[in-house]
Chain A
Amino acid sequence: MVPVLLGIAFITFALVSFAPGDAIRLMLGSESVNVANVERLRRELGLDLPWYHQFWNYLLGLLQGDLGTSIASRQPVADQIFQRFPNTIILTVASLVVALVIAIPLGVFAASRHNRAGDYVALGFAMLGVAMPNFWLGLLLLIVFGLELRWLPIRGIGSLEDGILDYASHLVLPAVTLGTSLAAILTRLTRNTMLDVLGEDYVRTARAKGVRPDRVLFRHALRNALLPLVTAAGMQFGALLGGAVIIETVFSWPGLGLLSINAIRQRDLPTMQGSVLVFAASFMLVMLITDLLYAAINPRIRYG
């Protein structure tokens, strides 16, 4: 894990260093600027050093657990990230739950109505969910439920002090928006694997034995269909993190995605670095959890 993270640190650093535009030039570009003080700031932040020197300084800090200081807010990057990271986790996990809650029943339903109207409706949803850009869906939901119907708040995160209901009401729209495309992918996957499994011998045997149809569907078939579903959900978690970057902006959700977007706009290098590292580390962690879940669901895969 450590070499991978080091590699990621190096790649983001290189990308950012060689990308056009920097924080200081951004300041110098505005109509009114104090050139002398801005140049002094460049020196104070070590931005006048060659990139390899900057990277070395960054690595030294990293080894001591120091992610550096944000150029924009002059706050420690680690503080900024750990204030926001829980919010992103809550949002992505909620979206994952939304996706699974929609996808599994819908997929099973579609498989059980193979090539009938219900199947086509479910597949239609799956198509639409993948095709809609999530920022567009977000704005649409926001206008319908926030502005026209006024059922749900349109911005920000709720406070637990105002009760769990308030918190949940803020979470609904972003989680549904972010979860929709994943739900669509997983619906299709559930349907297809269910169809495969339903064609297996043991399902036929179970039916022949006279096991109740719903029991066959959920106990015999679904359980075996879950395995590829878990893999896919784990793999797609990366996409969720990526989607969070956009959805957090639409819904003013104070998460890590928003922090990194702003950091990119302001060319706030240390904050960009830190966010990408944390994103990468969490993705790796999720992959690890996915592997462990495998073993839990299907004991035959348990290692050694």
Chain B
Amino acid sequence: MKLSRRILKVVVVALALALAATASAQQRGGTLRIAYTSITQLDPYKTAANDEINAASLVFDPLFIIGKDDFQPVPHLAESWEAIDDTTWEFKLRRGVMFQDGNEVFPEGQAREVTAHDVVYSVNRFLEVSTAFTLGDITGVEAVDDYTVRITTAAPDPFLVTDVNRLARVVVVPHEAVEHFGEEGFARNPIGSGPFELRSFTADQSLTFERNEDYWLDPYLDRVEFLFIPDPTVQTIAVEAGEVDVVPYLFNIDSVAQLQETPGIVLHPRGGSYRGLGINVTTPPFDEFEVRDAISKAIDIDAAVAAVVEPFGLRAYGQVPPWVSFEQDPSLSELWEYDPEEALEILASVGFTPGANGVLQRDGQPLKFSIKTIAGSQVRVLTILVTQLQELGIDASLQQQDTAVWAEDLQTGNDTSVFFDYSFAGTTGLYSLFHSSNAGMTNTHFYANPEVDRLLDEASRTVEFGERNRLWLEAQRLIMRDRAAIPLYFEFGYSVASDRVHDWVVPWGGLHLVSLENNVWVE
């Protein structure tokens, strides 16, 4: 046993060396062309749109990034950090990092170093202007010296550094640039300390970035171009035709199989999204547990997911996706079973009996609802499920809506009972979707369970991972047992890239072309 392990080690080392040998063929220079759908401004604090965040993250550096392999924070502008007590995080900054020069704010050769004071300014500005992300309850941010920042929180907050949507979003911004250009002007003339400098920005056409010659790492690429392609189908055609090198996010999972077969194209998987059936637990008759429970038993989720999504997705039994920093709860799968007969029995027990037209009804009211959804792979999954419900005499239908209408209907509860439930599954998705404080906003289930709230609140204050994990999974279990949602599947996320592109890391809270983990180059 020991021997074979040693042999394995030798093989691994040999492989690593071989990889290193091919890696040494990295080429300098060249242009990377990235497709985008919509970029209207580049202030990194004022957007939740992937394209805008991707473009902005070339210009700016965050304190840390979310690592490519295990979704744990890895150092970037901050060399290290530690919790010096339960409510205080201390960050040590990298020395010698300079803001970009050769622009209106910092003339060539007159840039200044990024210091702790810039981090303080950035966190404060973020708190003030960010519409997309919240940092939690921050009570203070101070520069201890030029290279040390302390952030204090009202309560212990482990998510501040582990969740992709918290401090990882706060890139460092020089106050001179915001003051010089003003809020609106800064959004067109971003200046940061990142690996690429913005050279041109033509709305609905292209953005051009050039290598920051003074960057603290050594970017391989000379230029990065963002090319405007609003139609997702055309984006992948453009990669095939060689007009762009990368589509950062593949919208249509149905095209994965075909793209995998296409020579010259590489699919890069990473993370993904949670997709399920959400239930507004205040809309009759879905305010009754039995009705929700019966619906969950009436649909053959395995079959639908296998037919439409696999192998580019995974059956989900809860909301916590496999790629965030919580463990999977294998016992969750026992909560869900496909048993249409039992479903009918449960419905009968609460008074739903077949009416004249075969539709189940109670007191003359048919069991009727339409599932509100937006476009995506779920439409085909839901179509299968709706058919199964109809066969049982449940008058279910599918209603595909425009995103803005869907969002409003779900938030206002406007005639909404069952809906397509979606989150791109950041670490704290469970909190957004089910905590009562978010009801009517991100919690469109209008789910309010004091016990779940307590568990989620307590978990959010628990620094020790094991305990936090336990509380979080317990909350998830309660929510699922309550049938506030019926999880369907996790859809994997992909970048589509030409095989000329190397060391690409699928954006996760920002696009990182040059970091301590990778350095993108093109053949």
Contact = CB atoms under 8 A, between A and B. Distances in A.
Contacts of A41: 131
A123 to B, nearest CB: 32
B404 A254 contact: no
B252 interface: no
B230 A258 contact: yes
Interface stretch (A29-37, A101-109, A294-302): A29-37
Given A21-B402, A252-B234, A147 B134 contact: no
A115 interface: no
Contacts of B233: 139
A153 B237 CA distance: 11
Interface residues of A, number: 50
Interface in A203-227: none
Interface of A: 19-23, 25-35, 37-38, 41, 70, 72-75, 80, 83-84, 139, 142-143, 146-147, 150, 153-157, 249-252, 254, 258-259, 261-262, 265-267
Contacts, number: 154
A156 to B, nearest CB: 6
Given A28-B407, A147-B237, 13 more contacts: A26-B408, A28-B441, A29-B406, A31-B432, A32-B134, A33-B132, A73-B41, A74-B184, A154-B238, A154-B243, A250-B231, A258-B230, A262-B38
Contact of A21 (B40, B131, B165, B404): B404
A228 to B, nearest CB: 36
Interface of B: 38, 40-41, 48, 128-134, 165, 184, 187, 202-206, 227-231, 233-234, 237-238, 240-241, 243, 402-411, 414, 423-424, 426, 429, 432-433, 441-442, 444
A265 B131 contact: no
Contacts of B129: 37
Contacts of A72: 40-41
Chain A to chain B: the 6 pairs with minimum beta-carbon distance, closest first: A21-B404, A29-B407, A73-B40, A254-B204, A21-B405, A32-B165
A153 B203 contact: no
A142 B442 contact: no
Nearest to B274: A31
Contacts of A70: 40
Contacts of A22: 404, 408
A154 B404 contact: no
A27 B131 contact: yes
Contact of B403 (A26, A31, A146): A26
Contact of B203 (A21, A254, A266): A254
B237 A146 contact: yes
B203 A83 contact: yes
Given A38-B131, A155-B238, A156-B205, A26 B432 contact: no
Contact of B132 (A21, A34, A142, A267): A34
Contacts of A83: 203
Given A139-B233, A154-B238, A34 B131 contact: yes
A159 to B, nearest CB: 9
Contacts of B433: 31
